C-alpha cells in the first residue's frame, strides 16, 4: 500500500524568507511524487513531479522539491516566499509499478506574512 | 484547451433530493477521476475511469453514490438521496495515462455541494 504524510497542518513564513513544506511517503516500489497547490475556491493545480533522474525537481512559480530516497521525503521549497504563495499545498505519491492512482496527503496550509 | 469543466459550480439542495454533478475532461485524456474534499477527511478519491470504464470504485462511500461515463467527453456523479453529510467540494480530474510523463492529473474548479 502507498501512503503520504504531510506532518505540518500549517506553515507560516515571512515574505522574502525561504519556505519548506514537508512530505514523506511510503510505497512498495519506486515512487512517482507530485506537488499540487490549491488557491481559495479553486481546483488543485500541478506544480511539479519527480519520476526519475535528478533528485532536485524544478516546477512552476519558482518552486522546487528534492527527492531523498534514504529519508523517503520529497520536501517542497522556495528560496524567497511571496504573499501570493499563500495557499494549500498537497503532496501525492503513486507506485510506478502498476496502474495505481495517486494518493494525496492531507495538505499543508502555507501562510506568507508581509 | 479549456481544461476540465465542471457544472454546476455551486449546488444547494435539500436532504432527500437527487443531485447530479457533471464533468467534461480534457480532450484526449483517457483517465477521469472523481474526488471529494472536506475539512475533516481531506481529499478522497471516489472513483476513476479508464476509457469510460470504471476501474476502481472502492472510494464510493455508499450505494447512494453512483458515477457514469457514457462517452469520452462526459461523466456524471449522482447522489440519490442526498444527506447533509454529503456536503463537500467535489472535484473531477483527468489525465492522459497513469504512467511516467502521462499521469499528471488536471483538476476542474470543483462543485461546492450543500445539502440542507
pLDDT tens digit at each of 116 positions of chain B: 679 999 999 999 999 999 999 999 999 999 999 999 998 888 999 999 999 999 999 999 889 999 999 999 999 999 999 999 999 999 999 998 877 667 889 999 999 999 99
Looking at per-residue pLDDT, the higher value among A100 and B87 belongs to B87
CB A78, CB A85: distance < 8 Å: yes
pLDDT at A100: 74
* Residue A12, C-alpha cell as written in the block: 507560516
- How far B13 CA lies from chain A's nearest CA (Å)? 20
pLDDT at A11: 98
Contact B104 A96 (CB under 8 A): no
CB A94, CB A70: distance < 8 Å: no
In this prediction, residue A99 has a pLDDT band, given cuts at 50, 70 and 90, of low
Residues listed for chain B: 116
Sign of CA dihedral B25, B29, B32, B33: negative
Task: Give the chain A residue whose CA is nearest to the CA of B58.
Answer: A101
pLDDT at B37: 94
Contact B109 A42 (CB under 8 A): yes
B25 touches chain A (CB under 8 A): no
Q: Is the pLDDT of residue A96 over 80?
A: no
Task: Give the chain B residue whose CA is nearest to the CA of A91.
Answer: B43
Cβ atoms within 10 Å, residue A15 = 14
Q: Work out the mean pLDDT of chain A and round it to a whole number.
A: 93
Size of interface A-B (CB pairs under 8 A): 52
| Alpha carbon distance B6, B28 (integer Å) | 17
In this prediction, residue A91 has a pLDDT band, given cuts at 50, 70 and 90, of very high
Q: Residue B114 class from Cβ within 10 Å (0-12 exposed, 13-18 middle, 19+ buried)?
A: middle
pLDDT at B31: 93
Name which of B29, B46, B51 is nearest B103 in CA terms.
Answer: B29
In this prediction, residue A29 has a pLDDT band, given cuts at 50, 70 and 90, of confident
- How far B43 CA lies from chain A's nearest CA (Å)? 7
B48 touches chain A (CB under 8 A): yes
Amino acid at each position: 500500500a502507498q501512503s503520504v504524510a504531510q506532518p505540518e497542518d500549517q506553515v507560516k513564513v515571512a515574505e522574502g524568507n525561504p519556505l519548506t513544506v514537508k512530505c514523506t511517503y511510503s510505497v512498495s516500489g519506486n515512487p512517482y511524487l507530485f506537488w499540487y497547490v490549491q488557491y481559495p475556491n479553486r481546483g488543485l493545480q500541478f506544480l511539479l513531479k519527480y519520476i526519475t533522474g535528478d533528485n532536485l525537481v524544478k516546477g512552476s512559480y519558482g518552486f522546487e522539491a528534492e527527492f531523498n530516497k534514504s529519508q523517503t521525503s520529497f520536501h517542497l521549497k522556495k528560496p524567497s516566499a511571496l504573499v501570493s504563495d499563500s495557499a494549500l499545498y498537497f503532496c501525492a505519491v503513486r507506485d510506478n509499478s502498476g496502474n495505481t492512482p495517486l494518493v494525496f496527503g492531507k495538505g499543508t496550509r502555507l501562510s506568507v506574512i508581509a | 484547451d479549456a481544461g476540465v469543466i465542471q457544472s454546476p459550480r455551486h449546488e444547494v439542495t435539500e436532504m432527500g433530493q437527487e443531485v447530479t454533478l457533471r464533468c467534461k475532461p480534457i480532450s484526449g485524456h483517457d483517465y477521469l477521476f472523481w474526488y471529494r474534499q472536506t475539512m475533516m477527511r481531506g481529499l478522497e478519491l471516489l472513483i476513476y475511469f479508464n476509457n469510460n470504464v470504471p476501474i476502481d470504485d472502492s472510494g464510493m462511500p455508499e450505494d447512494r453514490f453512483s458515477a457514469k461515463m457514457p462517452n469520452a467527453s462526459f461523466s456524471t456523479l449522482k447522489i440519490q438521496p442526498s444527506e447533509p453529510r454529503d456536503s463537500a467540494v467535489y472535484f473531477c480530474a483527468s489525465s492522459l495515462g497513469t504512467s511516467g510523463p502521462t499521469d499528471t492529473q488536471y483538476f476542474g474548479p470543483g462543485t461546492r455541494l450543500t445539502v440542507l
